[in-house]
Amino acid sequence: MKMFALARLSRVLLIATFGFTLAEQAAQPRRDVFFVGGRYNKVTIMTGQIYVERLTPPNVTQANPLVFIAGAGQTGTNFLETPDGRPGWASFFLDKGYIVYLSDQASRGRSRWQPSVGSMIASGTEKVEEIFTALSKHNLWPQSKLHTQWPGTGLVGDPTFDAFYASQVQYMPDSNIYEDENTAAYSALLDKIGAAHVFTHSQAGSYGWRIGDARPSLVKSIIALEPAGPPFDGRAPFTGNKTWGITYEKVEYEPPIGNDSSLLDTVRVPAPDADHNDCILQRDPARKLKNLMDIPVLVVTSEASYHAPYDYCTVAFLKQAGVQVEFADLPKEGIHGNGHFLFMEKNNIEIAERILKWIESV
């Protein structure tokens, strides 16, 4: 009797304190946290590990989970909620029955950074306004004037901008180090959790290709949200030549080229119009990305982003290399006004619905 009374009291206190019953508590997603990957450096410190959150819905209905990898200066919080307080993509896909893995890149956010690995930089408010949140006010590329979906003004002092900028973290400018660290760490994550659909954003785009190359049997699909590009070239606002085509470090080609990326024979293809960049592609016959050929890929590009002038080059390169790629060029599908952070903008759920249909089709 005494035990029953204690149990009843606990239930009353739970409702009074948190506002939900035990049944309601059971209906909430479960959150687990762990670290994976990394290696000991001279035994005294560990580098290269990543922080991971596993969010499990009350009713798991999908066989393969989703892994989200955020871009430069970002963390896994990108996908939890929008800066103006609306549900993010994590909530959307949890509601659809998917287990969701959010993470911070190696040497980023909650994934420990060691100064010996590389130096750090951070983006100032002006840069963030110009290329992420207030594109139409700066007109730095032809499509930027079409930006309408960012909530608020996109300028310093606006509550949504301030919330977004507060979430920005430092990052290493050395793409080669980051690509190697994260390829190893996310490969270890897939070894731990099994096959998954991998979402990459921006800088993390090249990691997706490397992870698919390293673990082709564990990558069910790659959803590349404006992946680092274009092939080979560095284009403003982020420069740096990808000597292996769509990556900074080695991926496997067929016929093989060993460790010598200079064996990729390239040609510059003129832009189709004034709103797009020219492309560097392989000269025919093109070598194939042999470990990516059986992985379905969706490349998603916004109307107003700085990726709008050149993501078509990345798609062309992938097709040339034998990859099963679909191009979700959002304005051509009637989804207008988005910038680079499409998953935070006013129509973020509309875009998530588009991606969900594709995942269900593969």
- Catalytic residue numbers read 202
Q: Is 1 buried (19+), middle (13-18) or exposed (0-12) by CB count in 10 A?
A: exposed
Tell me if 68 sits within 8 A of 55, measured CB to CB.
no
Residues 323 and 298 sit within 8 Å (Cβ to Cβ): no
Question: 199, 328 in Cβ contact below 8 A?
Answer: no
Q: What is the dihedral of CA 343, 347, 350, 356, to 10 degrees?
A: 10
Within 13 Å, how many C-alpha atoms sit on residue 217's CB side? 2
**In 3D, which of 111, 118, 122, 229 has the Cα closest to residue 171?**
122
Report the sign of the C-alpha dihedral through residues 344, 33, 295, 288, in that order.
positive
133, 196, 258, 261, 351 from 154: Cα distances, Å: 5, 34, 46, 41, 20
Residues 6+ apart with CB under 8 A from 205: 71, 224, 225, 226, 227, 228, 229, 246
Distance CA 90, CA 65 (A): 11
Q: How many CA atoms lie within 13 A of 324 on its CB side?
A: 12
Map tokens 């590389």 to a residue.
118
* Main-chain dihedrals φ then ψ at residue 147, nearest 5 degrees: -75, 115
What gap in Å lies between CA 242 and CA 102, rounded to an integer? 26
Amino acid occupying residue 84: D
